[in-house]
Structure 1
């Protein structure tokens, strides 16, 4: 949390109000994001801002999930607060017909800090340079995607296909078992937050690495256990992880996980994206994915995103 001045505490923590037309962002029109001054939670995009001539910054929309609403004790107005820290922002009004969205968030400048489009792009560029890739095949990618997405330090998880003999891949061809591709997830992660060794530990915990070309009822080479390594360090880490599992005797049968150098990745069709989250009530998800997902959430609770 950011340290606040006495006046900022008055507005943000004691639900005070700055004088009209006195705030830094009343007539501010630069491109970027408005963040909560106390916790830096993104609240509003600059395109949501408009001039309501009321003396305070006005927005007709919010970043999804960023704002909480509470009816004032007198029942006359609705207070808006930061969802993350509860800091007071101002009030929201409906029915004024000032924009097409018919909503006005009247916000204290004191409650916010602005981050310019250039600053955001520079941060993203720096972050992207620090990211690394990991590519795993452990059966149906619907379940694997859902689990890796929840790990702290994982930036993105994309389902797709790797390891085949053709120059392209799509679901119908891969599931025929004739292309040589495996269903995989490509994980973009921050090694400063989560190590490749930790990703390997999760990988081996959430599938059976002893069944050749099969996971449960899913059969075929597309469901094989495989690690596509992106550099020599990943080769060494994967080899060491497998050796330790063998020494520990965790699996009664031989481990058949392939360790092979990454060559190409073909992103899966859009309907596979966030499949478990979007189709949780389907029988396949309920019977096969949900138990495995819930077990992984318990086992790796300490390294999940907050």
Structure 2
């Protein structure tokens, strides 16, 4: 979670409103994605935005599953909040006929942060078919061991994502107070293995319904998380989770967080290839190996040659 200013807390957490025509995104027209200021969950694409001349940013659509609607107590308006963290965004109106979709999400600028196309795609610019994916699914020793074996995965590196640089170290992250998640940062050849296949492996290798927990590992650093590198990954991740929800594979709701990728901080060197180097240790035998064996049996045909 991002640290909020007092005014941001007033709007996002106390359901306040910024003054009309005062927000930085009222006349903003760059291409990219608008994300939740509090948790960085992607909310709106730039193509959803239109000028409603109302004094606040207006959108006629949202990223699937990103926004929650709740009628106000007096029944006069419908509040919109971030589906992931519950942060207040504004209100939604229908029947104004301002666009073909006949919907207006009236959103406080201060509730959002904008990620440009260049920012979202920066990690994929070097080689067009080589892409990045960043996942949190509990202890990164287990997650790295699984993804490193897949054919088409060029590298899988343990590290931290979601917090500040000065707290991106194992001791601090283990406190559960840094905002970081233990993640695996993956470079993959999209011509060999797709992002959707990586998502399939991700959800096969952990329980996405346990909040801030995987087995006996407890704390927000072990949360189920997808850090999306571009708008396409946002769409694919949301669609994938929606399909899993419709299939009712798990009895409890999926709590996986989807956030815009910002910075990956590599873990200390002794975490590299931990399972391969220390597979005889009790934690590896009791926790990592069962997950590794289960996923590898199912995805044996996708292992590196």
> Aligning the two structures, in what range does the TM-score lie when normalised by the shorter sequence?
0.5 to 0.7
Note if 1:237 corresponds to 2:221.
no
Residue of structure 2 equivalent to 1:150: 149
The answer as to whether partners of 2:176 and 2:219 remain within 8 angstroms in 1 is: yes
Residue of structure 2 equivalent to 1:297: 296
Residue of structure 2 equivalent to 1:140: 139
The answer as to whether partners of 1:162 and 1:182 remain within 8 angstroms in 2 is: yes
Once residues 203 and 161 of structure 1 are traced to their aligned partners in structure 2, the CA distance between those partners, rounded to angstroms, is: 17
Deviation at 1:304, TM superposition (A): 1.2
Once residues 130 and 299 of structure 1 are traced to their aligned partners in structure 2, the CA distance between those partners, rounded to angstroms, is: 25
The answer as to whether partners of 1:168 and 1:266 remain within 8 angstroms in 2 is: no
Residue of structure 2 equivalent to 1:271: 270
Once residues 303 and 219 of structure 2 are traced to their aligned partners in structure 1, the CA distance between those partners, rounded to angstroms, is: 31
The more displaced of 273-282 and 127-136 is: 127-136
Once residues 283 and 301 of structure 1 are traced to their aligned partners in structure 2, the CA distance between those partners, rounded to angstroms, is: 25
Residue of structure 1 equivalent to 2:193: 194
The answer as to whether partners of 2:138 and 2:217 remain within 8 angstroms in 1 is: yes
Residue of structure 1 equivalent to 2:70: none
TM-score normalized with structure 1 length:
0.58
Residue of structure 1 equivalent to 2:260: 261
Once residues 180 and 166 of structure 1 are traced to their aligned partners in structure 2, the CA distance between those partners, rounded to angstroms, is: 11
Deviation at 1:130, TM superposition (A): 2.7
Q: Provide, for residues 250-293 of structure 1, a one-character-per-residue CA deviation record: whole Å limited to 9, x for no partner.
A: 01000000001001110000000000000000000011111111
Q: Which is higher, the Rg of structure 1 or of structure 2?
A: 1
The answer as to whether partners of 2:167 and 2:173 remain within 8 angstroms in 1 is: no
Once residues 131 and 186 of structure 2 are traced to their aligned partners in structure 1, the CA distance between those partners, rounded to angstroms, is: 8
Deviation at 1:128, TM superposition (A): 4.3
Deviation at 1:167, TM superposition (A): 4.5
User: For 1:76-225, what aligned pairs fall within 5 Å after superposition?
Assistant: 128-165=127-164, 167-225=166-224
Number of aligned positions between the proteins: 181
Q: Which runs of 5+ in 1 are unaligned?
A: 1-125
The answer as to whether partners of 1:209 and 1:225 remain within 8 angstroms in 2 is: yes
Once residues 257 and 170 of structure 1 are traced to their aligned partners in structure 2, the CA distance between those partners, rounded to angstroms, is: 23
Deviation at 1:216, TM superposition (A): 0.3
Residue of structure 2 equivalent to 1:95: none
Query: Which of structure 1's runs of 4+ aligned residues deviate more than 2 A?
Result: 126-130, 165-168
* SS of residue matched to 2:136: strand
Once residues 279 and 128 of structure 1 are traced to their aligned partners in structure 2, the CA distance between those partners, rounded to angstroms, is: 34
Once residues 143 and 153 of structure 2 are traced to their aligned partners in structure 1, the CA distance between those partners, rounded to angstroms, is: 13
Q: Which runs of 5+ in 2 are unaligned?
A: 1-124
Deviation at 1:303, TM superposition (A): 1.2
The answer as to whether partners of 2:160 and 2:267 remain within 8 angstroms in 1 is: yes
The alignment's C-alpha RMSD in Å is: 1.4
Change (3 A) 1:166 1:156: closer
The answer as to whether partners of 2:130 and 2:188 remain within 8 angstroms in 1 is: yes
The answer as to whether partners of 2:137 and 2:223 remain within 8 angstroms in 1 is: yes
